[in-house]
Structure 1
């Protein structure tokens, strides 16, 4: 009997390894259809999920209802599965080199529990070739089993978008691949249980890996173009968002916008592709150029704000700045690879006083990760307010709000261009 049939007949279990912002939604969605084991090495996170709490603060407790799932950190429990989905993070290190430690650790875990007839599918974002060239040898060495003879391998890149309630697992087409024709079909059919939008069957694992890596690389390069245009237009005294509005009236103009590029997708994934390209003897030109522009935007923003303060504040040493938003994107609590932290660091390098507020972020997590926390609310007058992340709580802010926060010559630095028609009492600047 094929693995798909065994799963839907509840004869076998599916396991998800890594229950972060990607793995947990996948595990819960599958558990409404089949029997699931949710595995994470962090016992504290496991206990939270047992109590219907999402450690990533993405899902409500109701998302755990009517789910046939066992949360565990015990390898013995994991051995009960037949179909393994790996959804661990794939970051880069401080030198922007791919850090494969989590995915290789997951591969070692798989090697300890896998049996004849089992399936292993990776969802973690990696460079083309990583699943077969880096992960597979680890699994085979530890398990003593051989691909094609004893077990099947696949790759199906995650497309989870944190904070997005529209583009969910169910209604976004899933890409699937397998180590042979049979595995491709069984993997695709299994995902079709939970993805109503359908599954695209890729011709090989490498094609699926490459498809994932260029999704975010394309966005990164396009945002880099917008950021470079923003720098140019600023020198010309032109508002970038007004230019984009005008250009956007043409049917084939792609609507990208300038901004800080953080998070664990756009700001990370391109480095996996350029790393592999360099390994093959090709030095990326366009992709790394875009990365350099985007990684430099935090310093650019900080310098623009400091220039205004120097020109408009009598006592620069006593200048105060309020930063609104610390997460990597709007309406999420995730602070990983947040470029707002880089803005704060740059401002503090000038020995300026910086207060940070955010309705979603954890002050303790920010302190642990970046060395600064949040203030409960703004106090006193500021020389500049930087709106970095457009959380929904900021949507209705107006001229009076900013006027009350700022000194007479204070600056509103609006990185998303959301307040350009609302600020009249103070100096306004946006990307």
Structure 2
């Protein structure tokens, strides 16, 4: 399958999965209005999805480092959709947490394997990885609109209709999987061993991603409430702010890939985090409609590093690409949810503006961490060994990828006894 077609399908599938990450925050106001949840209880719903996703994603990454599992793409998409679709049924808080948690596990299972396949399909192109990440950002951006149309029209009882993007996304992955299976054995060639892992840099990168995640998930959870307070407008104003937050991320992701083609990734990420410090301060401190402009700047500043951090992590851990993808993609969108209840409790005790003030410091900490990070050397361009081009291997085209040979894992097969 051609590179552009594979990346396009993967990007669309990514959008269908990340709809369910954005849907959790978009559903929170409806849980508050229909079930009278407090800020702390509402943020607990975000925590349920984030906790399971942040823990499970590195585990799925470790698993796919050992055995290729492309079947996870359609299966995990359906699981994510079913969890969120069932979250609005029944009035039990515990049942709601359970279904949202199942949706989080589905999201967790999808990202490490999809990022690894996208890395191979992109042939190491930052722009192509940016387009893959763009799909997830668009899914985030579309989530509030989808929830507003479905749940805003008929209440939480209509959440089962939210399963349809998952069904579409799972179908979109099937041509990619068929393309993988059509690859046949090629003449044996020598592969280049991967570069040594830079664990220290990877840990620093992970901490920077955690700080970024706290800002993004915190704003995703409470920006709808906050904008309504600051502007004096109704629910539509809050939904509009959430859409701006997610659409700005889509612009930032594509921009990050283009900037990284001109400057190195570390330099681009440093600059984006400095921009984000000022932008988050504007969100928290600026009243009136100007708030929307700072929301857009914050979103762009947070998402310029998005795909760049994933490829940096993969280059810092070239022998464990799935684990690197699982940690960075998982933490990028989930671990911030662990801090949402803290923000919610502080908002209940003081005010929402006071609770959001600490978010200004988070991108500054990310910037400080990136000051200590090196730009990894460009990976070599080895050809794949014949044993990695058997049917079922994770290969997208018959051309040589620009990713290390360690990125291509053989799927599980029963061993044959030698006679």
Q: TM-score w.r.t. structure 1 length?
A: 0.27
Higher RCO structure (Cα 8 Å, ≥6 apart): 2
Q: TM-score w.r.t. structure 2 length?
A: 0.28
Which of the pair is proportionally richer in strand? 1
